[in-house]
Structure 1
């Protein structure tokens, strides 16, 4: 596939370059003495075009050889009931069997066996396999996943002693420009080590309708016309230096295959999510307490903004990091930690992957002047819990609130004398997400009654979860029990 792209696109690029050189030479001649003007610029030959095409082809080959060994094929496996048939009917045997539930790609980013991939590649499996280009296949364990960015971190389980896995280097997605050549490597339709090429078609794409995606999903995609097909998900998008500038995630298609519109998660986001998962087992998101809006082109022209643009501060919440730092409604954020910010989606993602406790610099435009404001990034989950009147439990993976009079009134008749906590919000990839629903009321953990949110968190912190605990739950006014965590 690479050679086809090189043959079809490279001569065109080479001719464009030659034309630019010729135009520059012509402009210089116009300013020179008459004797110089009489000289004509040398015309590019077919041999020149072929030489340029071969140079580009060699660049593609170099990246493919360099990075292919670090790209893995991931299989998600699901345990399903074994069925037996007597020729007419099927019935469960009481045993389970393993069946492939999905396929995708991933890229090794650490020689110890750390793999970066998509959440949707691994979320469908109870267990996982990672196959290397040398044919070796390993069991793999999900370290953590983040549905809000569609990213996951996987680790090769029980690698051979002293094994040093090949890796790909993470690059700088901010340095990528529209029109740059990029290379995608993955396993589309199960065909391992498939290399395709294209260009960056656009940056900071948002509003992409993805099946099953949360409306809160962080979208700040790199758009590319490099062929991305089912199975490419989780594989790297690379620059001509072989550095990972994105993680391939989705395609826009009517027929189910590549139609020249693919989307990759920028490396800047992927790096932040990966570092948070490796440190905490989950993504700890940054938060400043501000609501933003996109700036219209008319508004940008009115205030004299450059083409870099900015993002409008539409609301600053009280007693938040942004308010304490002096950010005001109507400010326009032009840079965040030195990075230009022209889209709301880019700024939201950048703040979200900044570790809480970090002091970040916002460059804002106010009254026609640029001002730098330092803001201490807070923990999104803790502040979200506070705004909901609850507390966040890491072990549970969500926000719970004590059944106070306000909540009892909301729940209606029958809850007047009940003590417990209500589940207000669940992490999409948290331990409780598979079996609990928002709105569930938890009244006991094991044999211990739960009276307050603080008590719920304290009991769960001390509980031995290796064998799981049974929680007494009220859902839709019916009592039941849920084993936690799910087996």
Structure 2
């Protein structure tokens, strides 16, 4: 993707704008155009008028002009209908984190009081997607926070409950108490065309229920360098020129029927505001993540065991295919589901479960968001001949041994005997910390990359799944005690929200 400027996550309090209010935004009243000096001429009444002004009397109304105006008014009415339909389902979200309070004992000494206060850390947007109160937003709007305030368009406010979040797609789900709340439906984002009109709704700079319009500028955007996003993130963005600004994060991008086609996530900008390049998580990806978070509390990803490449012109020419008509299989892992199903290197995947595949990012995300154990139909072209294969996907976490515990901000890997020997330990069981989310519960507790967790809540930790279960069953409000090995030291860390 050709990019200019810097791509920024649309974080209201974290895009180098420092927005805890809106005092940094200068608003000017729109007055008339005043011109004076050498470049102006005087009228008979003494007023000055621009030298470039040309007077002409309007001609008689032309049928073509009337028809154009009618079309414009019709489009305007379409946008108005969308705004009326969507606005009641768009919410304003404030995220808060617990900050310890201190008291000063002397000019050079302070001590914690044991009390905490809530400090606003982010603001963003969201969309109600189920009448029971489920709200989709961005992970970066809610991560690192301990409490969430959700305000509806009618002024009602609720305390939000975090259902789950997925840093690898930047999607999160909150829940508020309610019944028969106005919910938006999802469109099939695979069927959205470049050039199609879209409408973005959200709270840019804190101004709730702001509506902007534009078109889908491109599909399948990837390799967008978002601050703080994992290098293994799944990106398959819709690109739009609808104005998206800090505070729009998590708000819906909808079609003219008012259906969600994407979740607004990021912008490419030199100055930090909209410059006509915005990115949204496509609806199909968001919906799959929501389903997994609601049903399982986490995203359980499928794994096929293939390396993929975009079908560029040189590769496509060598295979007798059109560029972008599929995705090249550049490698197959031995004994993987793909190998078992008979996929080979230089196969070209053209459809996945009936969905056309034209970009590596789209296929990679589709595989990852399919639950393990699912048998999927993959349509390929091999040596110019189309054929179908059926692949039963494996569990990505079990294959890689890497588990993400987003509720506490930890990335863990099962400690193998080889890991233990390499680190200088013998007969040690546990899980190795390979990632700690900034601002998350684990970081605040003091866990660090390289730590080995051997116990949780007094029970031995044999693997990451055991650890996850023990933490879920424990009381994070009071603290879950962990047995931790760090270098040559052993100690206890309380994992506490």
TM-score when normalising by structure 2:
0.80
Which deviations, in whole Å up to 9, do the C-alpha atoms of 1:197-233 show, x marking residues without a partner? 0111111111111111110011110001100000000
Asked if the contact 1:470–1:483 (Cα under 8 Å) also holds between the matched residues in 2, the reply is yes
Counterpart pick for 2:429 among 410, 420, 426: 420
Match of 1:53 in 2: 72
Residue 473 in structure 1 maps to residue 489 in structure 2: no
Aligned equivalent of 1:72: 91
Q: C-alpha displacement at 1:423, in angstroms?
A: 1.2
Match of 1:460 in 2: 470
List alignment gaps of at least 5 residues for structure 2: 1-61
Deviation at 1:393, TM superposition (A): 9.0
The match for 1:295 is: 311
How many Å apart are 1:301 and its aligned residue? Answer: 2.4
Structure 1 equivalent of residue 452 of structure 2: 441
Alignment of 1:19-30 (within 5 A): none
d(CA) in 2 for partners of 1:182, 1:142: 29
SS in 2 for 1:217: coil
TM-score (norm 1): 0.81
Task: Give 3-state SS (helix, strand or coil) of 1:112's partner.
Answer: coil
Structure 2 equivalent of residue 407 of structure 1: 419
Q: Distance in 1 between matches of 2:464 and 2:268?
A: 45
Range with bigger deviation, 102-111 or 324-333: 324-333
User: How many angstroms apart in 2 are the aligned matches of 1:234 and 1:455?
Assistant: 30
2:340 paired residue among 324, 337, 341: 324
> What is the CA-CA distance between 1:403 and the residue it aligns to?
5.5
Provide closer, same or farther for how the CA distance between residues 175 and 149 of structure 1 changes in structure 2, counting only shifts above 3 A.
Answer: same
Match of 2:398 in 1: 382
Task: Please say if 1:341 is aligned against 2:350.
Answer: no
Alignment deviations for residues 93-139 of structure 1 (CA, whole Å, 9 cap, x no partner):
44211121110000000000000000000113110011000000000
Aligned ranges 1:75-154 → 2 under 5 Å = 75-83=94-102, 91=110, 92-154=112-174
Q: Give the Å deviation of 1:457.
A: 5.2
Contact 2:456 2:483 in 1 (8 A): yes
For 1:335 and 1:460, locate their aligned partners in 2 and report how far apart those are by CA, in whole Å.
41
What are the within-5 Å matches in structure 2 for residues 2-401 of structure 1?
Answer: 45-83=64-102, 91=110, 92-156=112-176, 158-159=177-178, 163-306=179-322, 308-385=324-401, 399-401=412-414
Contact 1:382–1:392 (Cα < 8 Å) also in 2: no
Q: Secondary structure, in 3 states, of the residue corresponding to 1:218? A: coil
> For residues 437 and 60 of structure 1, do their structure 2 counterparts lie closer, same or farther at Cα, with a shift above 3 Å needed?
same
Residue 472 of structure 1 and its aligned partner are, at CA, apart by 1.6
Q: Distance in 2 between matches of 1:401 and 1:228?
A: 41
1:44: Cα distance to partner? Answer: 6.0
Question: What is the rounded CA distance, in whole Å, between the counterparts of 1:88 and 1:253 in structure 2?
Answer: 44
Give the equivalent residue in structure 1 for 2:48. Answer: none
Distance 1:463 1:139, change over 3 A: closer
Do the aligned partners of 1:395 and 1:460 also contact (CA within 8 Å) in 2? no
Alpha-carbon distance in structure 2 between the residues aligned to 1:368 and 1:346: 23
> Counterpart of 2:72 in 1: which secondary structure?
helix
Q: Please, which runs of 5 or more residues in structure 1 have no aligned partner?
A: 1-42
Distance 1:276 1:145 in 2: 10
1:373/1:229 Cα in 2 relative to 1: closer, same or farther (>3 Å)? same
Shift of 1:195: 0.1
Query: Relative to structure 1, is the Cα distance of residues 181 and 88 closer, same or farther in structure 2, using a 3 angstrom cutoff?
Result: farther
Write the distance in 1 (CA, Å) between the matches of 2:404 and 2:250.
30
CA 1:432–1:285: 2 relative to 1, 3 Å? farther
1:481 Cα deviation from its structure 2 partner: 1.6
Q: Give the paired residue count.
A: 431
Cα offset, 1:446, TM superposition: 4.7
Q: Report how far residue 427 of structure 1 moved.
A: 8.9
Cα displacement (A) at 1:444:
3.3
In 2, the alpha carbon distance for the partners of 1:352 and 1:448 equals 32
CA-atom RMSD in angstroms: 2.9
Could you tell me how far 1:286 is from its partner in structure 2?
1.4
**Structure (1 or 2) with the greater helix fraction:** 1
CA distance in 1, matches of 2:267, 2:488: 42
Distance 2:128 2:460 in 1: 46
CA distance, structure 2, for counterparts of residue 213 and residue 240 of structure 1: 31
